Structure 1
Amino acid sequence: MAFSSSLFFLLSLLCLTFFPPSLAEIRFTEIRNDDRPFIPLDQFGFTHSGRLELSVSKISLSDSKLDLSKVGFFLCTLDSWLHVLRQLEDREITCVLQSDLIESVYTFNSLNNADSFNTEYVQKDADQYNLVFANCYEQQLKISMDVRSAMYNLDGKGLVRDYLSAGRTILPRVYFLFSLAYFGLAGLWIYILYKKRLTAFRIHFFMLAVLILKALNLLCEAEDKSYIKRTGSAHGWDVLFYIFSFLKGISLFTLIVLIGTGWSFLKPYLQDKEKKVLMIVIPLQVVANIAQVVIDESGPYGHDWFTWKQIFLLVDVVCCCAVLFPIVWSIKNLREAARTDGKAAVNLMKLTLFRHYYIVVICYIYFTRVVVYALETITSYKYSWTSVVCAELATLSFYVFTGYKFKPEAHNPYFVIDDEEEEAAAEALKLEDEFEL
């Protein structure tokens, strides 16, 4: 087995660690004329009462005369695979299925000319395992088959199945609690809009829509995960989750762009360059959501899985960068206006507001895109739910900050400034310019 193929598989396992599959723990996989040396099928955190049910049918081999003990399914942890790599490099073994560091589930020499098999594997060692199909005859043997894998843990009495990976089994409650928090914020925002309806702008009603979409998205995700936990499959709840996830993603990025431009509460229109940002962000969000659906539905065994994963990451980065430009433009325009229109205090306060918002947006993007993924990798699989909680807490804080800073005001502090404050702000701006020089 080529060492480069083994290294590629290591990267596959690392990607699974960064982006664990989010759909059902009962997976149906169709493999057709595939000659890849390794096909990662799923990842699951087992407790001491873990089970794997593997059902494979319609098996077709391009050459059945080969030694089929070098073809089959196995379980391994990421640590064990690192040691297997060393064994392959040192020529201690020629096939991964020969290693005593992996747990063989089924090898094809047991088929006895059959085209299907069913097996159950009991996993008593608690850890996070990857289910992998190995073909040690790379580019010599093409395989077609239908694979059904079910991975679950049993409760203390061994009666109830839990199809969510250990460490993610409490996610239904986590998502439900956060959905209640957002519904509560939506109710509070409705009260604020009613109480200060004379000073509410269109952007404030758009904020309400974003809150409701986020709450519905979390509610559907809670039900989705709860159904998977009980049955192993989503049965339609994933469709609602994708719909609200799509609408939430578009609305959130659009809201950041609109706030960054000062639309509605500072000016009633968008400039051409600001419209172009929206025309870029919205289609990219459509592409990102399509990529997310393909990634979740196909799983890491798909030929194009890595391609779609790269597309998703690239699009997400571009969207995050694009939404920062309107805020930078607003800061630049307000700074120029503070020097020229004689309203230094007003523009300086707006300038300070947009600077703060710019910093918060960057921190939010950095935390949810980088820190959360890093936390996912360094945290034990038993506590993988903590990364979800951190991401949702960061998002909730971002929503609260945005609402607090841009809430409707009966006496808007950014427009009602007395002469003394105007002079003080003008002096502060002058000192700031001298300091920069």
Structure 2
Amino acid sequence: MGLAAAARAVLLLLAVAGVLLRPAAAEIKQESFKDDSRPSILFEKFGFGLNGMVSISVTGAKASSTLARPDPAQIGFFLLSDESLFEAIYDQPAPTDLNPNPESSPTCVLSSPYVSLLFTFADLNDKGYYNKTFPITHPDEYSLFFANCAPETSVTMEVRTDMYNTNPDGTKDYLSVGMASVPGIYAFFVVCYVVFLAGWLYVTLYRNRLSAHRIHHLMSGLLVARMLYCISAAEDQHYIRTAGTPHGWDVMFYLFQLVKGVILFAVIALIGTGWSFLKPFLQDKEKKVLMVVIPLQVAANIAAAVVGETGPFLQGWVTWNQIFLFVDVACCCAVLFPVVWSMRSLRESSKTDGKAARTLAKLTLFRQFYVVVIGYLYFTRIIVYALKTITNYKYRWVSVAAEEVATMAFYMFMFYMFRPAERNQYFALDEDDEEAAEMALREEEFEL
């Protein structure tokens, strides 16, 4: 395989990773590279409007090779739109009678007609410095790449990239076109969670305070954590939009993302075990679920922070994405076990406790909760992710709105079903319904 084919293969993997994996926030990025021999590096992906700009500053750039002196014209930066991605990758020279094997004389991706070449190392001054702002003539979503087509060559440099759209008043908007409304979306849900929290506190602390259990206070903490997460996300995106940097709000964002994730999975696991509703204690296996879920959530959020604060140019970026996806899926699977265990325990107890009606009510509630949890996890992990990849770059905010709406709907369902009440739905059926409940349980056993 020729050098160009190898470079294009890596380019394809990076481009696919940029689509399938979580992209970093588009803002001002600055990174140093030392003796980096990668044939291609994806820096950023950004949706440009009519007045889009790309500013690149390179300092201390130099290329060294174990072979001959590298050609500086084969090392440089370029932009590539998604629609031109595969054309650029498979832009191979056609075989001829004089050259039946085109791989023997590969072409560099920098010379492809499908890419927008910005500059090469031939444009650097004697000190390896270059700084220029490039206007975007055709609005679209572009990926900024660095390509190194020189054989056996490593590059050392410091790079600062600014990708932004220019507002009518001349100010810069560092958020991609499709993400410009995201700060407003998070601000709207801050108000929603404030109202939600006020109503929940009224129910738990005033109206039904005698029926409230410890789980209900933990659920209050979940609403507070989610509200603080939305506040930090709104501020983070607002400052990135106006200044290109989050001004420290990224730290708060990742902190509250961790807290709300840990509390959410803990609440789901505790509700699934029936803690404070069916029994005042947790069994050993249920404690082990919490001991597994909480460290996994910490690991997932560390991976998410590394991915969000760096970018595809980090050498281990794909690995960190894989870690995040793995532990997130592991958490989603782990929290379902307590619900399944409780459903199995209820089926077994229905044969001996003589309270079929109450058992059927509890079992029905657990089933509903189980189905909704699966639906919520499936939607936020797969459907929302699909929306990010298939929607036009101008409408990327739809995936953020969809995730927040789904989360709000899930919280409302969970909080309503397990709200404090003198007669909650675990004990909704009366003793008069015993015969009908026994019949339903027998039919269920027969079907199983």
TM bin (shorter chain): over 0.9
| Separation of aligned partners in 2, 1:372 and 1:11 | 22
Counterpart selection for 2:352 from 336, 340, 343: 340
Residues 1:57 and 1:343: Cα distance change in structure 2 (over 3 Å): same
SS in 2 for 1:62: strand
In the alignment, what sits opposite 2:417? 405
What is the CA-CA distance between 1:93 and the residue it aligns to?
5.7
Counterpart selection for 2:59 from 57, 60, 63: 57
What is the CA-CA distance between 1:8 and the residue it aligns to?
2.7
In the alignment, what sits opposite 1:222? 234
What is the CA-CA distance between 1:273 and the residue it aligns to?
0.4
The answer to whether the 8 Å contact 2:71/2:150 transfers is no
SS in 1 for 2:90: helix
What is the CA-CA distance between 1:422 and the residue it aligns to?
1.6
The answer to whether the 8 Å contact 2:11/2:89 transfers is no
Structure 1 unaligned regions, length at least 5: none
Give the paired residue count.
434
What is the CA-CA distance between 1:390 and the residue it aligns to?
0.8
**Pair 1:27 & 2:29 matched:** yes
Q: Provide, for residues 241-299 of structure 1, a one-character-per-residue CA deviation record: whole Å limited to 9, x for no partner.
A: 11111101111111111011011111111100001111111111111111111111221
In the alignment, what sits opposite 1:110? 123
Q: Provide, for residues 282-317 of structure 1, a one-character-per-residue CA deviation record: whole Å limited to 9, x for no partner.
A: 111111111111111221111111111101100001
In the alignment, what sits opposite 2:165? 153
The answer to whether the 8 Å contact 2:293/2:331 transfers is yes
- The alignment-based identity, stated in percent, is 46
> What amino acid maps onto 2:81 in structure 1?
T
**Pair 1:41 & 2:43 matched:** yes
Give the TM-score normalised by structure 1.
0.96
| Separation of aligned partners in 1, 2:347 and 2:432 | 20
The answer to whether the 8 Å contact 1:261/1:329 transfers is yes
Residues 1:4 and 1:331: Cα distance change in structure 2 (over 3 Å): farther
Counterpart selection for 2:219 from 191, 207, 212: 207
Counterpart selection for 2:108 from 85, 95, 100: 95
SS in 1 for 2:322: helix
> What amino acid maps onto 1:147 in structure 2?
V
> What amino acid maps onto 1:353 in structure 2?
L
> What amino acid maps onto 1:268 in structure 2?
P
Of 8-17 and 127-136, more deviation after overlay is shown by 8-17
In the alignment, what sits opposite 1:244? 256
Give the TM-score normalised by structure 2.
0.94
| Separation of aligned partners in 2, 1:264 and 1:124 | 62
SS in 2 for 1:32: strand
> What amino acid maps onto 1:86 in structure 2?
Y
| Separation of aligned partners in 1, 2:4 and 2:110 | 14
The answer to whether the 8 Å contact 1:261/1:326 transfers is yes
Of 72-81 and 3-12, more deviation after overlay is shown by 3-12
The answer to whether the 8 Å contact 1:50/1:153 transfers is yes
| Separation of aligned partners in 2, 1:317 and 1:416 | 34
What is the CA-CA distance between 1:20 and the residue it aligns to?
4.9
What is the CA-CA distance between 1:2 and the residue it aligns to?
4.3
Counterpart selection for 2:202 from 187, 191, 211: 191
The answer to whether the 8 Å contact 2:362/2:427 transfers is no
SS in 1 for 2:269: helix
What is the CA-CA distance between 1:15 and the residue it aligns to?
2.1
> What amino acid maps onto 1:45 in structure 2?
G
What is the CA-CA distance between 1:89 and the residue it aligns to?
7.1
| Separation of aligned partners in 1, 2:229 and 2:221 | 12
What is the CA-CA distance between 1:153 and the residue it aligns to?
0.4
Structure 2 unaligned regions, length at least 5: 95-101
Residues 1:183 and 1:22: Cα distance change in structure 2 (over 3 Å): farther
What is the CA-CA distance between 1:413 and the residue it aligns to?
4.0
**Pair 1:169 & 2:173 matched:** no
The answer to whether the 8 Å contact 1:33/1:142 transfers is yes
**Pair 1:308 & 2:320 matched:** yes
Residues 1:367 and 1:417: Cα distance change in structure 2 (over 3 Å): closer
What is the CA-CA distance between 1:128 and the residue it aligns to?
0.5
Counterpart selection for 1:376 from 354, 365, 388: 388
In the alignment, what sits opposite 2:286? 274
**Pair 1:144 & 2:146 matched:** no
SS in 1 for 2:138: coil
What is the CA-CA distance between 1:415 and the residue it aligns to?
2.8
In the alignment, what sits opposite 2:97? none
In the alignment, what sits opposite 2:74? 70
